Structure formats: structure tokens, C-alpha cells
A and B are shown apart, each in its own frame.
Chain A
Amino acid sequence: MAAITVRDLYKRYGDVRAVDGISFDVEEGEIFGILGPNGAGKTTTLEMIETLREPDGGNITVLGMDVRREARAIKERIGVQLQTTVFFDQLTVRETIDLFTAFYPRSLPVPDLVRLAELEEKAGARVESLSGGQHKRLSIALALVNDPDVVFLDEPTTGLDPQARRRIWEVVGHLREQGKTLVITTHYIEEAERLCDRVAIMDHGRIIAMGSPAELVREFVAESTITFRLRPPLEVEALRDIKGALEVGMDNGEYRVVTRTPQETLGDIFALAYRRGVEAEEINMRKASLEDVFLRLTGRRIRS
């Protein structure tokens, strides 16, 4: 059974169609990502599922319950981390979690939640002393106090440094092990590729592609990009005849060849270098990512 179903969802703010007719299902135990640039409608979508916002049109069910009619019952079984919430500065981490456990009819023990969010060493510290990453982990812990079946994380790593981001991913890993259904919004490609079983790519309020990260890349961008340097350099035209080359170019002495058949193309690059008596160095091959999928579908980069 699907944990969440969304059908023909609409939301308008004035003239802006924030969410413009989207439909998708999230399966139980799945980590589902909504990927898109700022202003794509990710947060609005999430907040309508969380019962925070009233949809202008369409239907949503969470765990088989309708968001409009059964909001109260839904709230007991979901956990929500909002994008920007800042908690009470004067309370400690442990006290804040304890306070939130009183907001639900049933809740997990505070020490378990502290452990789950990897906040053991900060449990007695005031909230105001937490770093950005620790504060985000606290808000994840607070999303888990009622031991929810479905957890929503709205941009859980935005603004964090790479190390803090990895800590969050670890915490998400714990949740995956517990078999929770997760919905995560993000505009980080790497995060979506690493964490999510399936991804919906959103732009201007619409879902423009949906599937597992690997499927999406295969479906929309089959190409890989090979970059390298030649010493001494050759003219770009010399690369045109490389086998499988769909597109060639050069930037600052770095050559770029786009291909669908990387093995064949790579071999031919070496062959060319050998023939012309030049040295091929700093060879890199980059497989396509969701970023390329987005670029292909919209002509823009996600973060711009």
C-alpha cells in the first residue's frame, strides 16, 4: 500500500501557481526525494501533505487518511522537520525534546531520541550553543518524538558544511534501517542520489521527471563526459573524428568529449595521442548525474 498518494494537487499564491497539478505515490518504507531549485514548489507540496496548508485543488492521503478530513489523526502518525524552525534558546537539547514529547499522546523515551539524532554529547547544552548541523539534528529528533510512520524532512542539509551534511545522512540512514517512510526535499543533487530510492524532479510547480536516480540518468542523459589535457596541445578539430564523440570542446587547455560509448571513445583518445606523439594527462570521466537530467529537461542548472 502507498504511504502517501497525491493526485492533481494545486496551490496558488496570488497569480503564482506554486504547485501546478502534480500527482505521485510514496511507497511504505521508501525514501522519496523531491528535487528542484528554490521556488520550484517543493516546500509548498510538503506542507500540504503535512496538513499545514490547505490545497486549492486535488487530493492527498497519508497512511490511507484524507488530509482535509483526518488531519488530527494524521498528525499523530507523521513527524515533521520544517525548514526554518528555530527552537527555544534557553532550554537544553534534552529539555526541548522532553517538552515536545508532551505534544503527543504517545512518545519515545528522550534518551532514545537523543541517541537517534547523535546528540549525546550535546544533550545538556543550551539550544543557543548548537551549531547549524546540531540544530538540524535536534529538529530531526523532534520530528521523531511520536515514533512516526512517515517522516518529512524539508531541506535537512541546506546551509551546512560537508561534514555536518554527512552526519545528517547518517541519521537518515538510521531511519531507513527502522523501515520508516521518508519524504525529503533538497536542491542538492548528491543528497538526492545518495539517500533517495526515488526522486521527483520539480520545476515551476510541476513534476518534470520521476524515478530512481539511476533510471532518470539512463532515461534522460545517456552520455558521459570525458575530460583530459594533451601535451603539447592539439587543435580541437583533431578530436572530431574520435569514435563515439557526440560533442567536443576545449576550455583553458582542457579538452572535453561527450559520448554514449565511453569505453570505445576512451580507447580512441589514447590511440589519437599515440599517433600524434602527444601525452594525454589528467584524464577524467564523469558519468551523468541528476544535474544533467535537470539541465537537459530545463536548460538550466538547479542551483543558479
Chain B
Amino acid sequence: MRGFYKVFIYDLKMVIRQKEALFWLFLFPILIMVIFGFIFGSTGSLKLRIGLVDEDGSQVSEAIVQAFQEIDALVVDTGTREAEREALKDGKRNGILIFPAGFGEKVLSGQPAEVLMVVNKSEVSTAQVTSSTLQGIMTRVSQAMSGAPPLIELREEEEKEVKDFEYIDFMVPGILAMVIMFSGLTGYALETATNREKGILRRIKVSSLPLSSFISGGIASVLAFSLLQTVALLSFGALVFRLRIRGNYLYIAVLVLLGTLTFLALGFMIASLARNSRSAGLAAQAVGLPMMFLSGIFFSVEWVPTPMKVIARCLPLYYLGDGLRGVMIDGASLSDIWLDLAVLCGACLAAFLSAVRFFRWE
């Protein structure tokens, strides 16, 4: 026990003293989150910019402009016809509405009045939305003014159970899974391969310490760092990107620890099979990189063709990501994600057994 404890403490010390390792453990995941957060995070809060040109200046047109300004989903600017058209050409408006002089008078006297709508067609993704939004609003306005009861009443009811999540909420569990995978595959397992090459394993073999104490001390320090990484990543996400975590923190910890053990076991298996630590490092990359892209870490596998889905479901990383998302986004309990847990346990056990089977002292 004393052996295990000392190995644990000194392993922690050794990692802390390696600046490079600290970068990969803590800064790198945060960097990835920042990059992805800024690339994809902004699309979640799309607001249309609408320019209003009031050439009429009547009570009617002023009331409509005011009504527009009260709509949350819109950013409303007002200006002259020339200025707003210019802004539209520069791509600074999604659309503009022009109320011509005499508009209010026509409305009040019951004649059909005209409003000019110009939509920025170059923004394909928003042109449709802009045009139907503006039409919808104007229809309601004209209906309200005519005083006639609408034939169809759209009754709105709020569904409180809808899980509105933003990309950051989806992405962070993925990044967490990726980080756990790489630190398992390439961290301590390669360290052990290096210790084998340096003759440290043989030196331990001639001491009274069982190798299991030595390795488990090392594994304990990796688990401790995994938890620290998780805390750092999630706190950063919460502070900077307003990441929301709905699930139980204990369940997240369970998944993090199980995932770390699984990928450690895989890493040990690779390190046992590889000729030396160099080829073990390359093999770990060769396993880790495709897994990262195929397991739906940065995007949901529901969007990809079926063969890719099948591949994803063969990879342990998929289940770690899936489990973490289940807990963090949906607030799932451990029994909800039993499949993820079972697959991870199975993969861990299989990899561990083959790592032991192919273990070499030198």
C-alpha cells in the first residue's frame, strides 16, 4: 500500500513538472473548445437585421415601426431609403421595408396600401426566413387594422420540456470524450513503454514491489488528472460559453473514470504489442485520430450516411461521447445510459486482458 501511495504521489509530481504535459492536459482541450465555440457557437443566436424606412411619418407608420422594434428576434434600424438600401447592398441588413408617403392616409381611408419589401438574396440561408418573417408580421398588422376577426386563430402554447441546447452544450461532452481518449491512449501507456525501454520495469521486477502496485499507482494519478481536466474544461465552458450541464456531476465523474480506464487499457494493449515506445506512439495516433473523426465527437452521427453510423457504433469513443451527452444534455441517469456503460466496461476488460497477455518486461 505504501508502494502504491508513493508511486501515485510521485507520478503526480512528475506530470506537474512537465510543462509540455500540462499544456496537452489542460490548455489544449480549452483551446479546441475556444476554436469550435467561436466557429459554430454564434449560429445559435441568429437575429435578423431589418431596416425600416418611414417616408410617410404618419401615426400609422410610426406605430408599425414601434411594433417592429419590440420584436426580440429582430434588430431594427431606421433611416432614409438611400441609406438603408446602401446598408442592404453592403450585407448589413437581411431585409428592408419602405413605407412610402401617403401610406397612413390610404390605410385610414380603407384603400389598399403598399409597403415595399427588399430582401438580401445573397444570404441564401436567411433570405427565406427574412421574407416570410416580414410577410407574417405585416399580415398580422393589416389584419389587426382591418378589425375583421381572423378566420384561423393560431393558438400558442409553450412546451416547457423542449431541450433547447446550443452547439456548445453538444460539443463540450464530445471534447471531453476526445480528451479522455487521447490521454488514455497516449499518456501513461506510452510512459510505461518508455519505462520498459529504460529498464525501470526490470528494476521493479527485482524489488519486492509487485508490478501491479506500480502500475495501479500510475493509473490512479491518471484518473486524478482526468477529473481535474474535466473540472477545468467544464468550468471554462460554463464561464466563457455559458455551457449548461443538466445532469448529475457524480454520473459525469463515473463516465470520465470509466472512459479513462477503457482508453488506458487500450493504450496498454497498443504499448504491449508495439515494438518500442516510438511505434507505440504512432500506433496510438493511428487508432485515436480516425476514432475522433468517426465517433461523432464534433457533430452528431445522426447526420451522416448509414455506413458511417455503423462504423461509429463499433468504436468505444462513440459510447463515451454518447453517455456524456446523455448525462450532460438530457440529464440522463446511469440506468438510462446502461448500454454506453456496458460497452465501455466490455471494451475495458477485453483491452486489459490482452494488455496483460502481451505484456513484456523488456
B27 proximal to A (CB < 8 A): no
Which of A51, A85, A88, A142 is the one whose CB lies under 8 Å from B14?
A: A88
Main secondary structure on B side of the interface with A: helix
Q: Is the CB of B208 within 8 A of A99?
A: no
Give the distance in Å from the alpha carbon of A78 to the alpha carbon of B5 in the complex: 23
Binds B, one of A102-110, A169-177, A184-192, A272-280: A102-110
B207 pairs with A75, CB closer than 8 A: yes
Q: Which residues of B1-40 have CB atoms within 8 Å of chain A's CB atoms?
A: 2-3, 5-7, 10, 13-14, 17-18
Q: How far, in Å, is B330 (CB) from chain A's closest CB?
A: 42
Q: Chain B interface: which size bin?
A: 20 to 34
Distance of A86 Cα from B195 Cα, bound (Å) = 8
A contact residues around B205 at 8 Å (CB): 52
- Do A146 and B6 form a contact, CB below 8 Å, given A82-B202, A85-B200, A90-B18? no
Judge if A248 is at the interface, Cβ distance under 8 Å: no
Known contacts A90-B18, A104-B208, A146-B208; decide if A99 and B10 are in contact (CB<8 Å).
yes
List residues of chain B with CB within 8 A of the CB of A84: 199
Report which residue of B3, B7, B204 has the largest number of chain A beta carbons within 10 angstroms of its beta carbon.
Answer: B3
- Chain B residues within 8 Å of A78, by CB: 206
Q: Which residues of B contact A146 (CB under 8 A)?
A: 207-208
Shortest beta-carbon distance, A144 to chain B, in Å? 12
Give the CA-CA distance A91 to B12 in the complex, in Å.
Answer: 11
Q: How far is the CA of A88 from the CA of B13 in the complex (A)?
A: 11
Alpha-carbon distance between A50 and B361 when the two chains are bound, in angstroms: 15
Say if the beta carbon of B209 comes within 8 Å of chain A.
Answer: yes
Closest to A102 in B: B6
Question: Does B207 lie within 8 Å of A104, measured CB to CB?
Answer: yes
Q: Does any Cβ of B come within 8 Å of A270's Cβ?
A: no
Q: How far is the CA of A80 from the CA of B199 in the complex (A)?
A: 12
> Could you tell me the distance in whole angstroms from the C-beta of B134 to the nearest C-beta in chain A?
65
A76 at the interface (CB under 8 A from B): yes
- Decide if A90 touches B14 in the complex (CB within 8 Å): yes
Given contacts A86-B198, A88-B14, A91-B13, whether A102 and B208 have CB atoms under 8 Å apart is no
State in angstroms the CA–CA spacing of A80 and B308 once bound together: 54
Contact with A along B339-353 (1 / 0, CB 8 A): 000000000000000
Chain B residues near A100 (CB, 8 Å)? 207
Q: How many A-B residue pairs have CB under 8 A?
A: 64
Q: Which residues of B contact A50 (CB under 8 A)?
A: 206
B203 located at the interface, meaning its Cβ lies under 8 Å from any Cβ of chain A in the complex: yes
Q: Which of A80, A83, A99, A104 is most buried by chain B, counting CB atoms within 10 A of its CB?
A: A99
Measured CB to CB, the nearest residue on chain A to B21 is: A90
Q: Is A66 an interface residue (CB 8 A)?
A: no
Q: Say whether B2 contacts A102, CB under 8 Å.
A: yes
CB-based nearest B residue for A75: B208
Taken together as a complex, chains A and B put the C-alpha atoms of A84 and B209 apart, in Å, by 20
User: With the chains together, A87 CA to B198 CA distance in Å?
Assistant: 7
Kindly report which residue of chain A lies nearest to residue B10, judged by CB atoms: A99
From B7, B18, B198, give the contact of A99 (CB < 8 A). B7
Q: Which residue of A has the minimal Cβ distance to B3?
A: A102
Distance between A156 CB and nearest chain B CB, rounded to angstroms: 15
Within 8 A of B (CB), among A119-149: 142, 146
Which residues in A have their C-beta under 8 angstroms from that of B14?
88, 90-91
Contact A98 B208 (CB under 8 A): no
**Closest CB-CB distance, A99 to chain B, in whole Å?**
5
Which residue in A51, A87, A103, A142 is a CB contact (below 8 Å) of B209?
A: A103
How distant is the Cα of A102 from the Cα of B4 in the complex, in angstroms?
A: 8
Which chain B residues border A51 with CB–CB below 8 Å? 206
Kindly state whether residue A69 has any CB partner on chain B within 8 Å.
Answer: no
Which residue of A52, A76, A88, A90 is within 8 Å of B208 (Cβ)? A76
Question: Nearest CB to that of A95 among chain B residues?
Answer: B10
In the bound complex, do residue B208 and residue A105 qualify as a contact, i.e. CB atoms below 8 Å apart?
Answer: yes
A194 located at the interface, meaning its Cβ lies under 8 Å from any Cβ of chain B in the complex:
no
Is A72 interfacial (CB 8 A cutoff)?
A: yes
Bound CA–CA A294/B206 (angstroms): 32
Report which of B3, B17, B198 forms a contact with A90, defined as CB distance below 8 A: B17
Q: Is the CB of B208 within 8 A of A86?
A: no
CA distance A80 to B203 in the complex (A): 8
A51 to B204, CA, bound (A): 12
Question: Which of A83, A103, A104, A105 has the most chain B CB atoms closer than 10 A to its own CB?
Answer: A103
Q: In the assembled complex, which residues on chain A have CB atoms less than 8 Å from the CB atom of B17?
A: 90
- Using a CB-CB cutoff of 8 Å, which residues 249-263 of chain A contact chain B? none
List the 10 shortest-distance A-B pairs measured between CB atoms, nearest first. A102-B6, A85-B199, A103-B209, A103-B207, A86-B198, A90-B14, A90-B17, A80-B206, A102-B3, A85-B203
Given contacts A85-B199, A90-B18, A104-B209, 13 further A-B contacts (CB under 8 A): A52-B206, A75-B208, A84-B199, A85-B198, A85-B200, A91-B14, A102-B2, A102-B7, A102-B209, A103-B209, A104-B208, A105-B208, A142-B203
14 A–B pairs (Cβ distance < 8 Å), ordered by A:
A72-B208, A75-B207, A82-B203, A84-B199, A85-B200, A85-B202, A86-B198, A86-B200, A88-B200, A91-B10, A91-B13, A99-B7, A102-B2, A103-B204
Report which A residues bind B (CB closer than 8 A).
50-52, 72, 75-76, 78, 80, 82-88, 90-91, 95, 98-100, 102-105, 142, 146
List residues of B whose CB falls within 8 A of some A CB. 2-3, 5-7, 10, 13-14, 17-18, 198-200, 202-209
